[in-house]
């Protein structure tokens, strides 16, 4: 069972500042033993922002930072914002708004530039980028890779981690090499929605038992997440906010104490330079 000295971090979830559960989801997380959160801004269009310029993303980031501050007040640890541009935006721009891929690339890179300002000021912890997880044409794929590589350039300049939303894969050494080429160490690249095994970036493992068991058995750095989307049309999706604490309990009950320490203490320190133990004050 989770004790008072065990940090429990959900590495990737979303909170809707206005339209769904928001802070109630944070309270659910804390009630079952959760202590720390990395809150990723929702896709800009989900918050009613149809960006025309990089500056248009600022309201998305500001609203995320605000709800993260509220979340921290509910936790025995704290929450941090992860800010960026969802890679699926490129399809919305190209398919629905008649941008060409290069125009979409430029807009998304400009949005990342604004996100980087918040990391630089200490108001956000890390950046989020990636590329579509579905089939796209070559021009969109090339533009998406250019956006992701721009995120690596920014991460290298800021010495911060970059979370990636990408296609499903257990081998992404080429992407990790792009980060290294930009000056960003591969251990500061995190693939969200990962399986229990991944070569290249650090896996942020979706918290179902099969994936977690694979990750725990490997003994390599990994994180745990729910990708909770806080969407009124999809309650509980992708996994509910109570899932990570409950899976930590399950790991401890099955003798995976070292894996819990790797996922919730050692890997967060290595990737994000955060201390989940010193920031934990359970009542």
Instruction: Give dist(CA 137, CA 222) in Å, integer.
Output: 32
User: What pLDDT sits at residue 46?
Assistant: 92
Instruction: Give dist(CA 121, CA 242) in Å, integer.
Output: 31
User: What pLDDT sits at residue 4?
Assistant: 84
Closest CA to 18 of 58, 40, 48: 48
- Residue 235: pLDDT above 70? no
| Model pLDDT for residues 8-58, shown as the tens digit of each residue | 999 999 998 776 788 999 999 999 999 999 999 999 999 999 999 999 999
User: What pLDDT sits at residue 283?
Assistant: 52
Task: Say if CB 151 and CB 162 are below 8 A apart.
Answer: yes
| Model pLDDT for residues 247-265, shown as the tens digit of each residue | 999 999 999 999 999 999 9
- Sorted by sequence, the CB contacts under 8 Å of residue 231 that are 6+ apart come out as 16, 20, 46, 237
Instruction: Give dist(CA 195, CA 210) in Å, integer.
Output: 9
Q: In what order do the strands lie in the sheet with 189-194?
A: 9-13, 36-40, 79-84, 126-130, 162-165, 189-194, 202-206, 223-225
- Residue 151: pLDDT above 90? yes
Reading the block at residue 3, the tokens are 């004790």
* Proportion of the chain above pLDDT 90, given as a percent: 92
Measured over the CA atoms of residue 151, residue 153, residue 158 and residue 159, the dihedral's sign is positive
| Model pLDDT for residues 79-134, shown as the tens digit of each residue | 999 999 999 999 999 999 999 999 999 999 999 999 999 999 999 999 999 999 99
Domains of the chain: 9-272 (3.20.20.140)
| Model pLDDT for residues 45-89, shown as the tens digit of each residue | 999 999 999 999 999 999 999 999 999 999 999 999 999 999 999
Give the confidence band of 236 by pLDDT, cuts at 50, 70, 90. Answer: low
């Amino acid at each position: 069972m989770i004790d008072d000295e065990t940090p429990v971090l959900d590495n990737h979830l979303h909170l809707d500042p206005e339209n769904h559960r928001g802070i109630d989801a944070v309270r659910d997380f804390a009630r079952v033993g959760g202590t720390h959160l990395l809150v990723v801004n929702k896709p800009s269009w989900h918050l009613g922002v149809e960006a025309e310029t990089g500056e248009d993303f600022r309201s998305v980031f500001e609203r995320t930072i605000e709800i993260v501050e509220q979340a921290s007040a509910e936790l025995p640890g704290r929450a941090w914002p992860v800010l960026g541009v969802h890679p699926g935006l490129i399809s919305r721009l190209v398919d629905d708004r008649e941008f060409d891929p290069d125009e979409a690339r430029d807009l998304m890179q400009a949005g990342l530039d604004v996100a980087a300002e918040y990391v630089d000021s200490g108001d956000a912890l890390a950046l989020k980028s990636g590329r579509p997880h579905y089939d796209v044409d070559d021009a969109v794929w090339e533009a998406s890779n250019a956006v992701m590589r721009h995120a690596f350039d920014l991460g290298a300049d800021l010495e911060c981690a970059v979370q990636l939303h990408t296609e499903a894969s257990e081998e992404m050494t080429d992407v990790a090499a792009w980060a290294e080429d930009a000056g960003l160490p591969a251990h500061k690249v995190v693939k969200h929605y990962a399986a229990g095994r991944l070569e290249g970036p650090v896996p942020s493992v979706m918290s179902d038992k099969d994936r977690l068991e694979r990750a725990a058995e490997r003994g390599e750095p990994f994180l745990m997440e729910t990708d909770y989307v806080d969407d009124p049309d999809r309650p509980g999706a992708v996994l509910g906010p109570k899932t990570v604490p409950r899976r930590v309990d399950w790991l401890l009950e099955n003798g995976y104490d070292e894996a819990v320490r790797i996922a919730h203490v050692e890997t967060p320190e290595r990737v994000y330079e955060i201390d989940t133990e010193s920031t934990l004050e359970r009542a």
